[in-house]
Amino acid sequence: MFDTPEGMFFFRGGVALLLGLSLGLEREKSGQAGQSPHFAGIRTFSLCALTGFLCATIDGTALLVAGFAASALLATAAWLRPAGATRGGMTTEAAFLLTYLLGAACGRGLILQACVVAIAATSLLAWRERLHGFARALPAHDYAAAVKFAVISIVILPLIPNRDYGSGWWAVNFHKTWLMVVLISGLGFGGYILTRIVGPRTGTGLAGLLGGLVSSTAVTLSFSKRSREVPSLAAACSLAIVAACTVLYLRVAIEAVVIHPEFARALAFPLGALFLFSTGACAVLYRVSAAAPADPEPADPAYRNPVELFPAIKFAALFAAVTVLFRLARATFGRTGAWVAAFLSGLTNMDAITLSVAEMTRKGTVPMSSAVTSVMLAAIANTLVKAGIALALAGPVTRRHVAVSLGATCALSVAILLWQAFAP
């Protein structure tokens, strides 16, 4: 049927009519629910879509432009109502013009594209209350965080040349360095949004789990202090801290998968074993904390906005420094020097060393086994730092829980390293 010009004409026209009916039905229902009906409903929108279809089919450009101008004049006249009428927004008028263009797209054969745009437009119109409610509830700093992430990832990244500066161990590619910033900012921003949606009152363990995506250090600091302030919540605070540290292994795995999937496969066994062990520790702490009273004032860690330009620049500098120092240590002292550099890097930041060695394995400049050892040593160092924070700031029960859980995790990490080193 659609093999003939007539069949294709009726098919495209039918799709245009259906799209106009869809948008028109939504606008008519919206007008019936409001204080006054909209200037166009299901019939007018359908005719508008058919007009766009015919203008695009009959003539190439002139008639199409004339039809759009006429539709725009009609929408403008409808918006400029008499003085006594209530003048609202221009949503219906904008949807009317879009309907004309959707009909024209069908006339040009862009059926799938027109359907996708129509579905998106209808969804936006139907979700009016939800979208307005979301806009009213969205804090200004959260909106600013989204804008900053767009600047970091869409504006700045394409402007940075994608080539190496320098040679040998001190060569740096600033484009790839900033790409790592985008990756880490994206992970942190996703976790930050989840914590904002879930909020601190949905459970201490979940707060720690999601907070670990943003900053496990902030979680450890916050809940360590909370365990000292409210001793009855010691087990729950321990759960939050261990849960945040458990997310570390998931975060490292995600970073490795994005940069070099082969490296991620090499890390699968050690990271998987540590993740399962830490999850088991969380399960034990959850059973212990279940009998404790709920926190009347849940701790809300003061997470730093993960998408800030200055911290992003600092991370870029840290990543570049870790990469250069790791190469220098390996070139000067061999793999032992590289492992020491990885351990020291893990004391302050786990992401930089993970991304650095993942990129090196992708280029083939570092053996896979040596890179896995480097990441494991960095993870041990990072876990020891979290344990040290808890031992210094937490209450006695939380200190004991965290020391046992994280200490056992570090012991398992060492055992895995020894097994990989001496296994036949």
Eight-state DSSP code of residue 364: T
pLDDT band at 170 (very low <50, low <70, confident <90, very high): low
The 3-state DSSP class for residue 295 equals coil
Structure token digits, residue 116: 């996708």
Distance CA 241, CA 218 (A): 10
Averaged pLDDT for residues 320-341: 83
According to the model, what pLDDT value does residue 84 have? 47
pLDDT, tens only, 86-118: 555 677 778 888 888 899 888 888 899 999 999
The Cα 75–Cα 79 span in angstroms is 6
Co-location of 71 and 184 in the same domain = no
Residue 8 confidence class, pLDDT cut points 50, 70, 90: confident
Average pLDDT over residues 410-424: 86
Tokens of 334: 């061999």
Classify residue 395 as left (phi > 0), alpha (psi -120 to 50) or beta.
beta
Higher-confidence position of 257 and 332:
257
Confidence (pLDDT) at 65: 78
What domain range includes position 220? 139-422
| Cβ partners under 8 Å of residue 140, min gap 6 | none
Asked if 305 and 349 sit in the same domain, the reply is yes
> Mean pLDDT: which of 27-36, 291-300, 394-403 is highest?
394-403
Which residues pair with residue 164 across a beta bridge?
Answer: 173
Report the alpha-carbon distance of residue 51 to residue 10 in Å, rounded: 14
Residues 229 and 106 placed together within one structural domain of the fold: no
Q: Is the pLDDT of residue 38 over 80?
A: no
Residues 272-289 have a mean pLDDT of 91
Tell whether 19 and 149 lie within a shared domain: no
The pLDDT assigned to 78 comes to 67
Q: What is the pLDDT of residue 368?
A: 92
Residue 226: burial class (beta carbons within 10 Å; 0-12, 13-18, 19+): buried
156 and 120 housed in the same domain: no
Tell me, yes or no, whether 186 and 304 share the same domain.
Answer: yes
Q: Which pLDDT tens digit goes with each residue over 195-219?
A: 666 654 446 677 777 777 777 777 8
pLDDT at 349 over 90: no
Do residues 303 and 211 touch, judged by C-beta distance below 8 A?
Answer: yes
Q: Which of 119, 134, 149 corresponds to the end of one domain? A: 134
Angle between helices 174-198 and 140-150 (to 10 degrees): 160
Give the Cα separation of 46 and 92 in Å (integer). Answer: 14
**Number of domains into which the chain is organized:** 2
Q: Exposed/middle/buried for 32, CB within 10 Å: 0-12, 13-18, 19+? A: exposed
Of 134, 158, 189, the one marking the end of a domain is 134
Q: Which helix (H) or strand (E) holds 34?
A: none
Most confident of 120-134, 199-213, 251-265: 251-265
Q: For position 345, what pLDDT does the model report? A: 86
Q: Which has the higher per-residue pLDDT, 210 or 419?
A: 419
Tell me, what's the pLDDT at 86?
53
Q: How many CB atoms lie within 10 A of CB 400?
A: 15
Q: What is the pLDDT of residue 424?
A: 56
Whether residues 122 and 250 fall in one domain = no
Contact 200, 298 (CB under 8 A): yes
Q: Are 278 and 249 a contacting pair, CB within 8 Å? A: yes
pLDDT at 263: 93
User: How many whole angstroms separate alpha carbon 180 and alpha carbon 170?
Assistant: 18
Angstrom distance (rounded) from CA 186 to CA 178: 12
> pLDDT at position 176, please?
78
300, pLDDT greater than 60? no
Question: How do residues 179-189 score in pLDDT, each as one tens digit?
Answer: 777 877 776 77
Q: Are residues 128 and 160 in the same domain?
A: no
- pLDDT recorded at residue 89: 60
Q: Is pLDDT at 143 greater than 80 in this prediction?
A: no
**Distance (Å, rounded) from C-alpha 100 to C-alpha 381?**
62
Of residues 36, 197, 356, the one with CA closest to residue 189: 197
The average pLDDT across 173-179 equals 80
Whole-number Å distance between alpha carbons of 324 and 328: 6
Q: Is the dihedral of CA 357, 361, 364, 369 positive or negative?
A: positive
Q: Name beta bridge partners: 165.
A: 172
Distance spanning both ends of the chain, measured CA to CA: 68
Instruction: Note whether 357 and 371 are within 8 A (CB).
Output: yes
Q: Contact 378/353 with Cβ under 8 angstroms?
A: yes
Is the confidence at residue 224, as pLDDT, over 80? yes
pLDDT band of 308, cuts 50, 70, 90: low
Most confidently predicted of 12-16, 31-35, 65-69, 121-125? 12-16
Question: In the chain, what is the greatest distance between 2 CA atoms, to the nearest angstrom?
Answer: 89
Confidence band of 398 (pLDDT split at 50, 70, 90): very high
Angstrom distance (rounded) from CA 347 to CA 385: 6
Same domain (yes/no): 120, 27: yes
CA angle 198, 201, 205 (to 5 degrees): 80
Residues in the chain: 424
Q: What mean pLDDT is reported for the chain?
A: 81
* Residues 412 and 306 both lie in one domain: yes
For the question of whether the overall pTM of this predicted structure is more than 0.75, the answer is no
Per-residue pLDDT at 115: 92
Task: Reduce the DSSP state of residue 366 to 3 states and report it.
Answer: coil
Q: Pick the last residue of a domain from 134, 154, 184.
A: 134
Co-location of 11 and 83 in the same domain: yes
Q: What is the mean predicted confidence (pLDDT) over 221-248? A: 86
Q: What is the tens place of the pLDDT at every residue in 49-90?
A: 888 888 888 876 777 777 778 777 777 766 666 544 555 567
Higher pLDDT, 133 or 44: 44
What percentage of the chain exceeds 90 in pLDDT? 22
pLDDT at 309: 67
Q: For residue 376, name the pLDDT band (cuts at 50, 70, 90).
A: very high
pLDDT of 310 > 80? The answer is no
Pair (155, 119) in one structural domain: no
Handedness of CA 297, 302, 307, 308 (dihedral sign): positive
Bin 92: left if φ > 0, else alpha if -120 < ψ < 50, else beta.
alpha
